[in-house]
Each structure stands twice: as C-alpha cells, then as structure tokens.
Amino acid sequence: MKKSMRLDKILSHSGYGSRKDIKAFCKQGNVTVDGVVCRDSSLLVQPEAVDIRVQGKVLSYEAHYYLLLHKPKDVISARRDEKEKTVVDLLPPLYAHAGVFPVGRLDKDTTGLLLLTNDGTWAHRIMSPKKHTAKKYEAVVAGQIPADIQTCFAAGLVLRDGTVCQPAQVQIQEANVLDITIYEGQYHQIKRMCAAVGLRVCHLHRRAIGGLVLDDTLPMGAWRKLTAEERELPFVCK
C-alpha cells in the first residue's frame, strides 16, 4: 500500500519552500489536487497516485535523489555550515529542502567525484566498511617515492598513530603522480598513508567509486543526476 503524506511535506520536498511558505501558497489557491483547488496544506495524499499541480504546472514527485557532483576546492562536504560554503550550497534549493546530504566526505582541498542523496540505505551501502567499496584517487605528491611503495600499500600500512589500514593499491603514473585505490574511508587516510612513506600530498582528486567514474565533461563545481543504471555502479568492483 502506498504511503500517504502531507501536501506541505510533498511540496517542500519538491523545492517549493518551507512549510510556512507552502501554507500561504495553498491559501492563495495556487495548488490543485486532481483538478480541485486545495487550500489545506496539511491534506494527506499519495503523491504517486494523484495529480498535483502548482500554478498549473504538474508536480513530478521523486522520493529520492541521486546526484553526482564534481567537487571543487574550498568547499566542505557537509549539508550546512555557518562559516564555510558546503557542497549542498552548490545545488538548487530543491535538494536542500529534500534533505540531500553528501555520501561520505572529501577534504576541503580535495576535488573530484562526490555523491549526494537523501536515500540513507543507498548511502550506507556505499559507506559501510563491510562493503569494501573501491575509491580511486589521483594524488600529486612531493618527496621521493619509495621503490617498495606498492608492497607497503598492499600489505596494509600502519599509520603514525597506530591505525592499521586495509590493503590498498598504488600505481606510479608520473614522477610525482600516484593512482591510489582504497577500500575504506578513514580520516585524511590517503594523506596520512602517503606521510607514512615519506610523501606529502600536494593535491588529491577522486576519480571513481566502484565502477562509477567521474564524468570528464562535467565542469568543476557542476552536478547532474545519476541514471538508474549509474546508481548501481558504485557496487561494481573495477
């Protein structure tokens, strides 16, 4: 059986403002349900089963949103912050009203692929350490890259504070560029792993999560919705 929801919650979720705003909006006669003007914003309806229109425009209700963002530098991975610009601030207000949040986090100075959603179950599948989801990064480093770096990463590094990392993969692309794949997401993990072998990370960029690769045509700071097929790619091992 489909779940009934308050009309103001549906409209807020769909980007039409706060419940207070929507209450006034309905009283002005701007909303119809199955062709009838609805002035009661608390009306319970099944969003998928009725025709809801706002100022004559059909409302297409989506319970969950799945977004891919090309995260720029100097933006934090959070829903809101009093001082810093957040990744949710880069999206239209619709998504903030719908409760979209970043799936995991990238450091403020790290760029690349970041997923956002309001589907907690989907996000947990990606973030859970038990799932061993591969996360692939490109790291520009300073320092002498050790000859045995691949062996060190594959064995599971022990960080300076005693933290034991799961085995990881690293490939040397250029004299100072590494491709690194990890299967967990500990605090500043790649920077700390590199520090453990005498390297300093100058720039870090996430390229992929599982089989989902950052869209090269997507400019820094831009976003788009994931297709239904792409939603499953983070769980594909590559």
Closest C-alpha to 71, from 233, 209, 211:
209
- Cα–Cα distance for residue pair 138/75, rounded to 1 Å: 19
- Cα–Cα distance for residue pair 191/185, rounded to 1 Å: 12
Instruction: Point out the catalytic residue in the list 89, 107, 119, 179.
Output: 107
Helix (H/G/I), strand (E/B), else coil: 218: coil
Would residue 107 show up in a list of annotated catalytic residues for this protein? yes
The CB density around residue 29, as the number of other CB atoms within 10 Å, is 11
Closest C-alpha to 66, from 11, 12, 119:
119
Helix (H/G/I), strand (E/B), else coil: 234: helix
The CB density around residue 193, as the number of other CB atoms within 10 Å, is 24
Strands 135-142 and 57-58: unpaired
Q: Which helix (H) or strand (E) is 225 found in, with range?
A: strand 223-225
Residue positions annotated with a catalytic role = 107
